[in-house]
Amino acid sequence: MSDRPGDMAQRVCIVGAGVVGLACALQLQARGYAVTLVDPRPPGEYCSLGNAGCFSRASCVPLGLPGAWKKVPGWLADPLGPLSIPWRYAARIAPWLWRLHKASSLDQVNRIADALHPLLDRSIDAWVPLAQRAGVPELVVQNGYAFAYRSESAFLGDGLGRELRRARGVSIEVLTGGEVREFEPALSKAVTHLVVLPEQGHCPNPLRLSQALAAVLHAGGARFFAGKALGFEHREGRANRVLTDAGQIDTDHVVIAAGAHSGELAKALGHVVPLETERGYHVMLSAPTVVPKVPVMSGEGKYFCTPMEGGLRIAGTVELAGLDAPPNYSRADALVALSRNLFPDLAFGKLERWMGHRPSLPDSLPVVGRAPRVPNVYFAFGHGHVGLTAAAPTGEIIAALVAGDEPEVDIRPFDISRF
Ligand SMILES: Cc1cc2nc3c(=O)[nH]c(=O)nc-3n(C[C@H](O)[C@H](O)[C@H](O)COP(=O)(O)OP(=O)(O)OC[C@H]3O[C@@H](n4cnc5c(N)ncnc54)[C@H](O)[C@@H]3O)c2cc1C
């Protein structure tokens, strides 16, 4: 593998130690590369910390669906609704929303689902060996999850999503009436339909998963460099040095996995990408009186109630307000009220609130692949709502590319040149 003098291992510098950067690092280390992760934060403590924990193999359904724009005014008007756009950010986000709208025709949606499905469907198969290597097999649980609807019309309204999934082989069971409470006794009698996806999975502690990956990387000789990457130095058309606010890192290859901040680094390499942050919130409820046996998502509210090691996590919502605005924790508090629509008997001890930045592109596809203009730089960002799910398969792809192998998943739809 090595072409360096003295047959030393080639060096890869990974910018960003979120779950995506960590999974790339572990796959690269397994192939014999000497990896350095550069991040101003401790591993896994940014967006990867607070997600809903779902390994959503079936999430090939993009954010923009035909006719979805008709629901937007209602969502925006509802303070408990799944979408919020502060007026001061509306002009800034408009071009991104326009791109999202253009990606929401039926043809586009099918194209996106075809591209995403092979990536996401590998999730659990790719995660199991990583979690085993990190000594935490208990953090990849595959016992399914469910979508709960409180009316026939809401259930029917998500029909296209079910069609897209079924057409790609996803197993789906629809429960109604008494079957709903037989499956999950704590669910409200108002839940009329429960859509169970038995092949999905979840991680009961996403932060502990990232930390376990970091520990095994460290034990294998990986270097964790505390700093913010600012740009690159180039020699003979290749990036040979990463410049940071804490010094420079000489390297043979670079992977950009800086989540919602990757756009600035792509720009330094000559690529402008419409990367936005879809801010999401969670509340973590300790000592909950109700713990569903699998994660349950509200079909209407689009938030997940996930059983976690530290209690019950209610996570979701989309707030389009950029990277710099302070969190609006009333969005998190709303999740508590909403969760009682599904679990009316829910009581709990303490409550912790969190906000995180999903790294999102308007066509719901990530950017994964080689930088067209600098052949030793690789992109691994923009996984939006499915970054935990896609991290392990993305790590496999990046390790294959760096080694000069053909990835098993078709990555052409994830090319940065599509923008
Ligand atoms: C409420 C919510 C629920 C979610 N639920 C799910 C779910 O159930 N399933 C799922 O699959 N996904 C889910 N997601 C999405 C998922 O959490 C993200 O897609 C994923 O965490 C992104 O990982 P990442 O490694 O790309 O980014 P991050 O975790 O954000 O990591 C990026 C890292 O890059 C670092 N960085 C940034 N700029 C620089 C720089 N210049 N130099 C060095 N380092 C830098 C940051 O400090 C950070 O540590 C959810 C997200 C939210 C907000």
Assigned domain for 347 exists: yes
pLDDT greater than 80 at residue 1? no
- Pocket flag, ligand 1, residue 259 (CB < 6 Å): yes
**Residue 50 falls within a domain, yes or no?**
no
Task: Tell me whether residue 290 is in a domain.
Answer: yes
Given this model, what pLDDT does residue 224 score? 98
Q: What is the pLDDT of residue 6?
A: 44
Q: How far is the CA of 401 from the centre of ligand 1 (A)?
A: 22
Q: In sequence order, what E strands does 39-168 have?
A: 54-55, 83-84, 145-149
Flag whether 54 is in a domain.
no
Residue 323 is assigned to a structural domain of this protein: yes
Torsion of the alpha carbons at 156, 161, 163 and 165, rounded to the nearest 10: -140
- Give me the pLDDT at residue 62, please: 97
Please name the residue whose Cα sits nearest to atom 19 of ligand 1. Answer: 387
Dump pLDDT digits (tens) for 291-316: 999 999 999 999 999 999 999 999 99
Q: Is the CB of 308 under 6 A from ligand 1?
A: no
Return all residues near 109 (Cβ < 8 A) that are at least 6 apart.
61, 62, 64, 65, 66, 103, 160, 164
Classify residue 90: in a domain, yes or no.
yes
Confidence at 3, pLDDT banded by 50, 70, 90 = very low
Ligand 1 atom closest to Cα of residue 386:
11
In a domain, 51, yes or no: no
Reported as a single tens digit per residue, the pLDDT across 88-111 is: 999 999 999 999 999 999 999 999
Expressed in angstroms and rounded, the spacing between residue 208 Cα and the centre of ligand 1 is: 14
Sequence letter at residue 104 = S
Give distance in angstroms: CA of 19 to centre of ligand 1.
7
pLDDT tens digit sequence for 194-250: 999 999 999 999 999 999 999 999 999 999 999 999 999 999 999 999 999 999 999
Residue 72 has a pLDDT of: 85
Residue appearing with tokens 């996995």: 257
Residues in Cβ contact with 358 at an 8 Å cutoff, skipping those fewer than 6 apart: 47, 260, 277, 278, 279, 280, 318, 384, 385, 387
Residue 17 has, within 13 A of its CA and on its CB side, a CA count of 30
φ, ψ (nearest 5 deg) of residue 199: -90, 0
405 contacts: CB under 8 Å, gap ≥ 6: none
Write the pLDDT tens digit of every residue in 346-362: 999 999 999 999 999 99
pTM: 0.97
311 alpha carbon to ligand 1 midpoint, in Å? 22
| Local structure of 80: helix, strand or coil | coil
For the chain, how many structural domains are there in total?
1
Residue 396: is its pLDDT beyond 70?
A: yes
Q: Which residues contact 96 (CB under 8 A, 6 or more apart)?
A: 274, 276, 320, 362
Whether the pLDDT of residue 2 is over 50: the answer is no
Q: Where are the alpha helices (DSSP H) in 247-299?
A: 262-268
Give the pLDDT mean for 156-169: 97
* CA Rg value for the chain: 21
Phi, psi of 49, deg, nearest 5: -75, -40
Residue range of the domain that includes 88: 80-104+138-202+276-360
- Is residue 179 situated within a structural domain? yes
Instruction: Work out the pLDDT band at 7, boundaries 50, 70, 90.
Output: low
Query: What's the CATH number where 345 sits?
Result: 3.30.9.10
Q: What is the pLDDT of residue 70?
A: 84
Kindly give the distance from the C-alpha atom of residue 278 to the centroid of ligand 1, in angstroms, as a whole number: 11
- Of all residues in the chain, the percent with pLDDT exceeding 70 is 98
Mean pLDDT, the chain, rounded, equals 96
Does any ligand 1 atom lie closer than 6 A to the CB of residue 214?
no
pLDDT tens-place string over residues 31-61 = 999 999 999 999 999 999 999 999 999 999 9
Over 70: is that where the pLDDT of 5 sits? no
Mutate to test the pocket of ligand 1, among 276, 296, 358, 360 (most ligand atoms within 8 A of CB): 358
